[in-house]
Amino acid sequence: MRRLVRQTIWSIWKMLISVKFAVIVIALLTLSLIVATVLESMYDTPTSQYFVYQSIYFYALLTVFGAIILFVALSRLPWQKKHAAFLTAHLGILILLYGSFLTFKLGIDGQLRVDEGMRESVVEINEPLLLIAGDEGVKTVEIGWRPPFVDFKPMVLQEHGITVDQFLSHADSKVSFLSSAKPGPMTGAIRARLYGGPKAPPFMRRGQEFWIWAKDPNWFGTQAGPAVVTWSSSINFKGKLERGPIIQFLADGEPGKLQWRSLGSEKNYKEGTIRIEKDGVLAQPIEIDLGWKIDARLQILETYFSADSRVDYSPSQIQFGTSAPSSAIHLTATGATEGVWLGLGERAELETSGKKIQLGYFPRRVTLPFAVELQKFQIDYYQGTKNPASFASQVNVIDTRDSQAPQNLWIRMNEPLKHGGFIFYQSSYIPGEPRPVTSIFSVNQDPGRFAKYLGSLLLVLGTILLFTERVRKRPKTSEVKPL
């Protein structure tokens, strides 16, 4: 028995140190990389990362690759002078792999978004996390990203009594409104349609449907065709409308009565009140003739005296590439059917077995020991075009531990900021109208950097040595037999 074990170990060892096995591993590595680039071309970068670069299989292959090199080096013990070149080259690869491992384990590669005039110290890393805040404090659960065509197995989180039952890698959101459990003024919602009658210009005919919701500033008013439609509080509702075309609804009126007023572009003022029997979709849409010259008509379709919003997610039309939207998850209290959707960056509350827990779905965050303040963001364009030639951010580093922290430093392409072991590169920006602007830096901390450089140097040096050495050992042609 012992002999058998020893034999097996011996044959495995033999295999590991054989160059033929190395060739097979190199070939497998090469093939995996080819597959990865093809996947990236067919789908997108995250897909290729999921199947290859971040997969267990690929890490295993790299580990085997590293192990072979280590074992082959060890098998040549005791080392002699003639092994110098061989050892240098292979040690280089080992150090390079070690450096990559350090980066993978300890490195930080994220994004820092700073608005102009603001400071920020939280770096976001592209790794979606579910945050659960209960009585015991905040817990994080990793939600593994997967491409749209890979099935998601529901994650049952027993201790919290919730289940993550759906994952959409790229999700489109759709907002709808429903009766609020806690009614109150200034929370009404209306779904209506503005369209043109027979005398209206052709572009008005099809009309435009819209929601307005008094509770949220983002939904308070909207542009529908040529007109601005908004809610208004009773204080403003008494005042004079100044510039048309505009339509207003009273947001803090009585239940069952909806007051409106409008002003056309020809200063024709009109107002009225609609009786609403109950919340929800109206059995018969209510028509309001605004009396405008362009023959615009308003059709009230759905009303709530007091509404809550609800966001639903569905698989996006765009499933691949950088223009695809971010992911979303669906959670239910274990056993329940109705649940809640969370898009990336959103919070919600869920009731499970009588307890309320706060949920959040966010990218992983790392807080820097210092803050970056964006003073100014600048874009240079190519002469006479609107194509940006370059962009740059002027920043201050706010670091209480370091009085020498950089001030008024410009970060631009190829000119990163280095501070406290972190490197900040100008990555992109989000324009504001007209200002401020959000500047996006990619933030990087790479403990494997030194190892990678050292390994690279040794690898190249060793290879050169290896090849110059071989020259001296030119095979004698007489030794070669014909095929």
Partner 1 sequence: MIRSFFLSSLLTLTIVAAQAEPTRKTEFDFSGLEAIPVQVGGRLKPFESFAQDTVLGVTGRMSFKGWKSTELLLSWITSPKEWENERFILISRPDVKRQLGLAEAETRFSPKELLDQSSLIDYATSGAGQVGGGMSAQATPIAITSKPDPRNEELKRVINRVALYRAVILGQAWQVIPVTSPQPWLALREGDPANGVDFAAMPGAKVREKYFKIFSAYLYSDHVNFSGLVKDLDELVKTEMGSDWNSEASSSVGAEMWYQRVHPFQKAWILYLVAALLWAAAIWLKGKKLEKILTRSALAVTGIGFLLHISGMVVRSYVAGRPPVTNMYESIVWVAFGVVFFGLVLYYLQRNPILTAVSTTLGMLTLIVADAAPVVMDPGIHPLVPVLRSNMWLTIHVLTITISYAALALTMGIGNVALFQYLKGVHLTPTGMQKITTLNYLSYRAMQFGVVLLAAGTILGGVWADYSWGRFWGWDPKEVWALIALLGYLAVLHARYTGWMKAFGFAAWTVVSFALVVMAWYGVNFVLGVGLHSYGFSSGGQSTVAGFLVAQFAFVALVAIRVKSGSKRIKNA
Contact set for partner 1, span 420-479 (CB under 8 A): 423, 425, 427-431, 440, 442-444, 446, 448-449, 452-453, 456, 459-460, 463-464, 467, 470-471, 474-475, 477-478
Q: Residue 197 CB, nearest distance to partner 1 (Å)? A: 31
Choices 34-42, 139-147, 309-317, 356-364 (CB under 8 A): range interacting with partner 1: 34-42
Tell which positions 146-205 bind partner 1, by CB under 8 A. none
Q: Does 404 bind partner 1 (CB under 8 A)?
A: no
428, 75 Cβ separation under 8 angstroms: no
Among 17, 53, 62, 365, binds partner 1 (CB under 8 A): 53
Give the pair of three-digit tokens for residue 7: 């034999």
Between 69 and 294, CB nearer to partner 1: 69
Tell which positions 116-135 bind partner 1, by CB under 8 A. none
Determine the Cα–Cα distance for residues 293 and 262; give it in Å rounded to an integer. 13
Between 220 and 425, CB nearer to partner 1: 425
As a whole number of Å, the end-to-end CA separation of the chain is: 44
Q: Does 403 bind partner 1 (CB under 8 A)?
A: no
Q: Does 71 bind partner 1 (CB under 8 A)?
A: no
328, 334 Cβ separation under 8 angstroms: no
Q: Which residues contact 151 (CB under 8 A, 6 or more apart)?
A: none
Between 122 and 318, CB nearer to partner 1: 318
Among 284, 353, 383, 400, binds partner 1 (CB under 8 A): 383
Choices 24-32, 73-81, 187-195, 215-223 (CB under 8 A): range interacting with partner 1: 24-32
Tell which positions 266-325 bind partner 1, by CB under 8 A. 321-323
Q: Residue 414 CB, nearest distance to partner 1 (Å)? A: 5
Q: Does 111 bind partner 1 (CB under 8 A)?
A: no
Determine the Cα–Cα distance for residues 175 and 173; give it in Å rounded to an integer. 7
Q: Residue 106 CB, nearest distance to partner 1 (Å)? A: 14
Burial 352-389 (b: 16+ CB within 10 A, else e): beeeebebbbbbeeeebebbbbbbebeeeeeeeeeeee
Query: What DSSP string runs through 450-480?
Result: HHHHHHHHHHHHHHHHHHHHHHHTPPPGGGP
Q: Residue 428 CB, nearest distance to partner 1 (Å)? A: 3
Q: Residue 31 CB, nearest distance to partner 1 (Å)? A: 9
Q: Does 386 bind partner 1 (CB under 8 A)?
A: yes
Q: Residue 392 CB, nearest distance to partner 1 (Å)? A: 11
Q: If we measure between CA atoms, which residue out of 336, 311, 310 comes closest to residue 325?
A: 311
Q: How far does Cα 299 stand from its chain's mean position? A: 39
Among 201, 293, 389, 435, binds partner 1 (CB under 8 A): 389
Q: How far does Cα 68 stand from its chain's mean position? A: 38
Determine the Cα–Cα distance for residues 104 and 98; give it in Å rounded to an integer. 10
Q: What residue type is assigned to position 142 of the chain? A: E
